[in-house]
Structure 1
């Protein structure tokens, strides 16, 4: 199991109370150092799955203390190996979730909601690569666009914002999503105007029709994306699953609109809408199943309401789309 090192700066007279915290029994090793006349540095080695409970206890106890600072570091290896690797508990209420801490997840996921020059460049590059792959009917090139995965971040951050009831993050995520899709649409339009688009190309035609398999694929993509984030997997590995459901069909939509194939473009847009709904629905459900919730009870209550509304909304939209899909047959 992965390890984490917690470094905390607190006043000298507060170090003794660290041992009274409920989750301190999950600490593998602890070291205290004196920084100056007033402050001490407390280091604690813990399992990654135990870090969230300890972080919450430390923040609850010392957040109002002057000079308090808490830093969480990833531990690649330690020698000698710790003799205790897993916290044993039989009480489900106190058992650590099988994931990295909320703070780590938030730090990794929330960055995807930022509209930066790098993000915009990634969207442009991924769209061009995907368009070329679609026109050449080359799945290897299309997968290359998925690895870039520019739309991964905004969708995962929207799922996280919904689960935590974080309105500010939700707004940033929606802005990033809209911006990314708008840029991808414009770029795919330009490519569509520059090249002759053949709607009968297999890679394009396959993304103008929606089936039950596409719904299952998008649900699996959203689940895989969240599970990878909560386990600390590299973003490139996460992106392929999510991008397979989002970017290529939206590029197909832009290419077909540029070529005047509006009927086929409607099918591609319907696939995009289905995929966005399924990815976000599966993402929120997976975050909830992983036990991700805010630290304080009042934030948790707000998050619970937000999650219920989001799940109900996504399910309603999915039901409407399913009726449209199967009703058109």
Structure 2
């Protein structure tokens, strides 16, 4: 058919149920669902591109919504921004281009990815400048807090996005919108944070956001491109030229190098990019101190890194509640002083933190 002049082919990829007699085997035949072919995966990725105006319009809308959410500490607005943000399409197309070795698609997808991020960042930053925001909110602080296991989210999101694209419509149990939200979940809030923090001159928070955005792109690209290759999307095709092998290998190598570089950056600048994990570790150390001190029973310990940028220190703020042991001869003030010194000494041994610990000694009610 390719030799026919003026040939036009229209594909209508609708799910169908191909059944054959006998009728008793219909249930088994329906359960036999094939995944999409490599050309279908590629074309479905291209269909998600859309026009520049609509694409950037959604990015700007996501910037408005994520700014309102971060500014007013309204978490459900961050969920709304994740649904609006158009980051999932370019991120998955980067993975398709990497597996396929398509340099043109790779360049165009990266351009759209960073263009959307730039629009969201600029909108959020402009709103902070216009309204003269000077104080960070608690939701901004939470968004800027990075965990040591932050790399797992983009790896899972990339795999989920790739699975959604390779599975047929009737085989997928998860909607495309849900998968797109999972991909955007790790992109929309940090993008808004970068804009707001930059407008306020909080470059430490802005750098945390930039780190998360880069980590998401390379993590999603690594897991998604590997899954696409598993399902047959490669630089070599039986019926058409899908791309160049050297482009695929170069993009994959660059992804691995970038991911290694980001992880090196994360673990070499402790605790800046590990604050969530370091806070949990500090709470565990406080539990160990109290178990071995004999000065009382630990009731609760709340530990977090503060948002206040005190030059030359990483402030670890802790509120510790201790129950005074029955029959203790030491005064509450002496117990408080000894527990505070013991906890601060233990936490300082963890390295590069300034622990500010407030210990409250609580007396149990007298026994009847």
Q: TM-score, normalised by structure 1?
A: 0.70
Q: Unmatched 5+ residue regions in structure 2?
A: 271-368
Matched, 1:252 2:193: yes
RMSD: 2.7
In the TM superposition, residue 221 of structure 1 has moved relative to its aligned partner by: 0.9
Pick which of 182-191 and 68-77 moved more. 68-77
How far does residue 131 in structure 1 lie from its aligned partner after superposition?
Answer: 1.5
Q: Which residue of 2 aligns with 1:64?
A: 3
Once the two structures are superposed, what CA deviation does each residue of 1:44-97 show, in whole Å capped at 9, x if it has no partner?
A: xxxxxxxxxxxxxxxxxx42344655443234556x944473799xxxxxxx9x
Matched, 1:277 2:277: no
Picking from 288, 295, 299, the partner of 2:237 is: 295
Q: Which residue of 123, 133, 136 corresponds with 1:199?
A: 136
Judging by fraction of residues, say which structure has more helix. Answer: 1
Asked if residue 153 in structure 1 is aligned to residue 69 in structure 2, the reply is no
Q: Does 106-115 or 67-76 show the bigger shift? A: 67-76
Which residue of 113, 126, 135 maps to 1:177? Answer: 113
Matched residue count: 257
Q: Which has the larger radius of gyration?
A: 2
Q: 1:115 to 1:67 in 2, by over 3 A?
A: closer
Does the residue aligned with 1:74 lie in a helix, a strand or coil?
A: coil
Matched, 1:229 2:165: yes
The CA deviation string for residues 258-301 of structure 1, in whole angstroms up to 9 with x for no partner, is: 1111122111111111111111112211211222235248846x
Q: Which residue of 1 aligns with 2:354?
A: none
Aligned to 2:103: 167
Instruction: State how far apart, in whole Å, the 2-side matches of 1:197 and 1:318 are.
Output: 34
Please say if 1:268 is aligned against 2:204: no
Select the residue among 4, 13, 21 that pairs with 1:74: 13
CA separation in 1, counterparts of 2:154 and 2:37?
26
The CA deviation at 1:121 is: 1.0
Gaps of 5+ in 1: 1-61, 89-95
How far off its partner does 1:178 sit? 2.4
Residues 148 and 236 of structure 1 are in contact (CA less than 8 Å); yes or no, is this contact kept in structure 2? no
Residue 124 (structure 2) aligns with: 188
1:320 partnered with 2:257 = no
Cα distance in 1 for partners of 2:249, 2:9 equals 32
